Amino acid sequence: MAKEVIIGIDLGTTNSCVAVVEGTSPKILETNDGKRTVPSVVAFKGDEIIVGDSAKRQMVTNKDTIVSIKRLIGTGKKVTARGKEYTPEEISAYILKYIKKYAEDKLGCSVQKAVITVPAYFNDAERQATKNAGTIAGLDVVRIVNEPTAAALAYGLDNSEKDQKILVYDLGGGTFDVSVLDMSDGTFEVLATSGDNHLGGDDWDQALINWLLEEIKKEHGVDLSKDNLALQRLKDGAEKAKIELSSVTQTQILLPFLSMVEGQPLNVDKTVTRIQFEALTKDLLERTRKPFLDALQESKLSASDIDQVLLVGGSTKMPAVQALVKSLSGKVPNLSINPDEVVALGASVQGAILAGDIKGILLLDVTPLTLSIETLGGVATPLIKRNTTVPVEKTQVFSTAADNQPSVDIHVVQGERPMANQNKSLGVFTLDGIQAAPKGVPQIQVTFSIDANGILKVKAEDKATGKSNSITINQSSGLSEEEIQKIIKDAELNMEKDQKVKEAAEVKNEADSWIAILEKQMAENTSIPPDQRVSAQKMIDELRILKQEEKIDELKAKMEAIKTLSQDIAKYAQQPEASTDAQEAEVVNADVEDPKS
């Protein structure tokens, strides 16, 4: 293959997979051993680094073996092996290097570019960390794509002429996502997404492991929950049984010489039925119900509006999962593409689109939470609303909150609450060097841009001087799926209360603006009659007292009176009449405070 290719990689919690488009068809690239997926396992043995099946085979006897590293990526946490600390990005890079190498062997050419997939609810830090892992592995990561979206791309490649609503149910080894997409005229638009970043097939394994531990304790009077070697063998047995129970109604877990009890070998020989297994894992399956329904609600569709339901991830092969999806959607899930491979296939399709090899297909994804900046009174002023299609760029003009303010703090927050301190803080930066001017005069242009990878950049520019500063949200901004769901739920539960808090802040801001206008009018106009001056000062004093005592309704009732008073005073001015509004026409009524005040 002479032309440069862009491979598609599904970097999974349990297993990873790689694909490439040849001609117009995506295909899975097998390992040199003929395997279509690779265990996401890295082991250190002396100076040797082992990846994949070889690493998994020796993990029982090698404590320097790392599994499920995807659960930690973007969190800032580290793992230890050989007495040395490694970041999740470094461990992930070893997996990606291994994939890159065998892809090159299969294709017979150098591979430099890749599309890598992530769970739909990965936050900015997790996406950036995944991209960094690719860079460490020697790959130019040309796009980060959400896993459910990639799955829809793989399905839609042969069905792009049909207008359809697609629901993707993605249960991987360590994460769970549901996405609803609209496929129309070759455009894939994500309408909504929901999920749980800490729920996956590994949890089904763990439920079976816990049952085995209890059975061993009852039969042999020994607790193996702290025996790492025994636990690893139990995990292997549980995973094997889970897979077998997808095609048979009962299976045997045979683990000879699992441990020693009073000098005698402990052998495990347990029969487990599918009914038993489904009873043990019923609560896990139920945890997928709410994200499913939430995604439908967010998309403003009902189950009857969905044309196709796609299953992604090896765990969706479990009959109980398929039965739940069928009952919730009213449709038999589409199993035309292997759930273990569909994400990698879709990633390779996106790579071919970017390379220009596939035309007529456009992918439009969304951002999961509202992005705002903090403005006067602690209000969160939105720039990009939740479920906005990305890539996207939004610009809004703000101003200063005090006269001659030399700098402003730009505080970026994420969430659905109206006050900044109720949302997740993503980062703060300062714009200095603002020219001395009355408050409300400087124009500070703030731009939020989210690229196709879902990574946020914020820029602030003083339009008068051209001075600017910016921030790319870093790893301290991480949000777990639980936090995201809590943010949305809290916003719904506190909607009425939050609205009152926001309204109070806005009324106080408006009062401050009118106080400033009246004081300016009196200072600049010597021809104002004494009785008018007394009335104005009395009004100013009343507003300040009401504001201090948080008497919002009374403060609000004074607004019309103060506007009328200001207009009356303006008649004595030598200059143009005072504005009847408390802000400039082109400037958003949301001033940014001086960080030094």
Active site residues: 10, 70, 147, 170
The Cα 147–Cα 11 span in angstroms is 10
SS3 for 541-585, per residue?
Answer: HHHHHHHHCCCHHHHHHCHHHHHHHHHHHHCCCCCCCCCCCCCCC
Q: Are 29 and 106 in contact (CB under 8 A)?
A: yes
Q: What whole-number distance in Å separates Cα of residue 352 and Cα of residue 492?
A: 41
Place of tokens 């002429």: 161
Q: Half-sphere exposure of 51 toward its Cβ, with a 13 Å CA cutoff?
A: 21
How far apart (Å, rounded) are the C-alpha atoms in residues 479 and 414? 9
- Is residue 436 within 8 Å of residue 404, measured between CB atoms? yes
Helix, strand counts (H, E) of the chain: 16, 27
Q: What φ, ψ does residue 17 adopt, rounded to 5°?
A: -155, 150
Neighbours of 132 (CB within 10 A): 20
What is the 3-state composition of the chain as percent helix, strand, coil, each rounded to the nearest 5?
A: 40, 30, 35
Q: At which residue do the structure tokens 């609560």 appear?
A: 283
Q: Which of 315, 311, 452 is nearest to 393 (CA)?
A: 452
Q: What is the dihedral of CA 541, 543, 548, 551, to 10 degrees?
A: 140
CA gap 587, 440 in Å, rounded: 8
Region label for 143, one of left (φ > 0), alpha (ψ between -120 and 50) or beta (otherwise)? beta
